[in-house]
Structure formats: structure tokens, C-alpha cells
Amino acid sequence: MLQCQRIAEFSTEDLEKRRGAMIFSSKLFADYFNENSIPAVVGSEIFLRLYEYLGVNDPFKGYKEMSNKLARKVADDLKRKLKIDLNTALKLAIAGNVIDFAVGYNPEKIEEDILEMIKEGLYIDESKKLFNTLKMSKILLYITDNCGEIYFDKLLLEKIREEFPKLEVYIAGKEDAIINDATVNDLKEAGIDKFGKIISTGTRIVGVPMNKVSRDFIEIFNKADVIIAKGQGNFETLSEIKDDRVFFLLKAKCKPVARELNVPQGAMICKTL
């Protein structure tokens, strides 16, 4: 419901319309959710219905632009200040998933927070297994998560390109806007196509629900030797298929995900299933 509130607030200044949007959202939650629901998928379906109700296509547009601007500055500053190797780049990519690049967040405070994070070890750290797998692989599929953090993904993808120059890399974003997830256009605007071929999941739904993504995406997914999936939405959808090619990079921000991973809430991980 918090995301629905944000959608309403980002979409209109009309208080009556905001109230109507929240009532509409509450009814959708009652209709859509059941004990077998995947939150990322059902939440997306509700958000898209709410977009229609409010007459908007991308209510987070301004938020995403500010997030990208702020994250780009922080990532560039850290790149100048740090000697970034593959391990550090991986930690930065996970740290990027932790930080909410919100409007008004002090860039210096973000840098301090990220520097503290990368000093710590990951709660689950299978990065050596990931790097060894990359070394033996021909095709990597990298599935992005949110705007803002894509500039930290960019740091990791740059190091992967340097370390494994023969690797064929595909980088996936959403087909169109859904909350603050990175779209294909967001990835291109960030210059990430320098490090691999940008592709669409073929859907606006959060994560990678295999019954909703495009055939083209499934073809690339199936032929990839290794898959890096960022964030909780990708974990919620891809953990269902128990595919050991998939390495999840994320912070366990909510209790259900932490419980599923058997880690404390807030833990940072690099893990395959």
C-alpha cells in the first residue's frame, strides 16, 4: 500500500483523486492477493491498474531522473577515490541496491554509507563461485533492478568486461515503466550498452515472471551460462525455478525474503540457489 500511496502522490495534487486511488488500491489488494501470490507480480498488476485509474504511464519519472542524476555523481566520485577491483565492484553493485537515491538525499552521506558497507563482508558471499563461473562461461545475462543503482551496476559490468573480455553480455531492463525499475531506455541513457547488448524482459512486471516475459528474453535466458539478478523482485520471481545458473545480488530488505534466505533482515548477499 505504501507504493500505491507514492504512486498517487507522484501522479496528482488533487487530494480527492488521491483518496479515490487509495480506496481503488485497497479493493484491488483484496481481489488480487492470496496465499500463493508472488508479491512482485501481483503488486505490479495492481500498480498498472492504478496507473490506468490515475491516467499516468510513469508517475516515478521525475523521481527516477533525480535518482539517476544523484547516483551518477556518487558513482563517479567513488570511481575517482577508490581503486575498484572486481570484488569491490560487486560490493558496490550490492550497496547500490541498498541505497534509496531519493531526492534531497545528501550525496556525501550516500558516499559515507556506501564506503561503510563495502568495508563489511557479505552475510552470504559466493562471489568466488560467481567469478569462477564467469571465467568458464561464454554468455552472461545481467538482470537489472532500479534506477539509481544502475550506475553501480555499470561499475560492476565495466570490471566484468575488463576481466572477461570474451564474455558475451546481455543486460536486461523492463519493457516500460513500472515504479522505479530501470527500463531499456534508462539503461541506454546511462551508457550501459557500452558493456553489453541491452535487451527487454518483454514485460513491465517487476522481476522475471517466466510466464509473462517475452519469447526473445526466454531464448537468451535459456542460452546464458550464468545469470546475475539484482534485487528482491528478481529474487521473488526467479527463486521459484531453482536454477543454479542464477546468482542473486541483493539486500534482504523485508522479512519474507530474509526468512526465505535464512538470513537476518538487512543482510547483503551474493548467492545462488
pLDDT tens, 243-272? 999 999 998 988 889 999 999 998 999 999
Query: What pLDDT digit, counting tens, does each position of 57-97 carry?
Result: 999 999 999 889 989 999 999 999 999 999 999 999 999 88
> What's the topology of domain 63-272?
Rossmann fold (3.40.50)
Pick the CATH number of 2-54 from 1.10.8.380, 1.10.3470.10, 1.10.1740.10, 1.25.40.420: 1.10.8.380
pLDDT at 218: 98
SS3 readout for the chain: CHHHHHHHHHHCCCHHHHHHHHHHHHHHHHHHCCCCCCHHHHHHHHHHHHHHHHCCCCCCHHHHHHHHHHHHHHHHHHHHHCCCCHHHHHHHHHHHHHCCCCCCCCHHHHHHHHHHHHHCCCCEECHHHHHHHHHHCCEEEEECCECCCHHHHHHHHHHHHHHCCCCEEEEEEECCCCCCECEHHHHHHCCHHHCCEEEECCCCCCCCCCCCCCHHHHHHHHHCCEEEEEHHHHHHHHHHHCCCCEEEEEECCCHHHHHHHCCCCCCEEEEEC
Place of cell 501481483: 42
Q: Residue 146 corresponds to which amino acid?
A: N
The 10 Å CB-count burial string (b at 16+, else e) for 170-197 is: bbbbbbebbbbbbbbebbeebebeebbe
pLDDT tens, the chain, 273 aa long: 889 999 999 999 999 999 999 999 999 988 888 878 888 999 999 999 999 999 999 999 999 998 899 899 999 999 999 999 999 999 999 998 877 665 556 777 888 888 888 888 899 999 999 999 999 999 999 999 999 999 999 999 999 999 999 999 999 999 999 999 999 999 999 999 999 999 999 999 999 999 999 999 999 999 999 999 999 999 999 998 999 999 999 989 888 899 999 999 989 999 998
pTM score of the predicted model: 0.95
Q: Residues 181, 221, 193, CA angle at the centre, nearest 5°?
A: 55
CA distance 129 to 125: 9
Distance from C-alpha of 237 to C-alpha of 268, rounded to nearest angstrom: 19
- Count, residues in the chain: 273
pLDDT at 246: 98
CA distances from 207 to 13, 98, 160 (A): 30, 17, 23
* pLDDT at residue number 103: 53
Q: Is 148 helix (H, G, I), strand (E, B) or coil?
A: coil
Grid cell digits, residue 50: 492504478
Domain ranges of the chain: 2-54, 63-272
Q: What is the pLDDT of residue 140?
A: 98
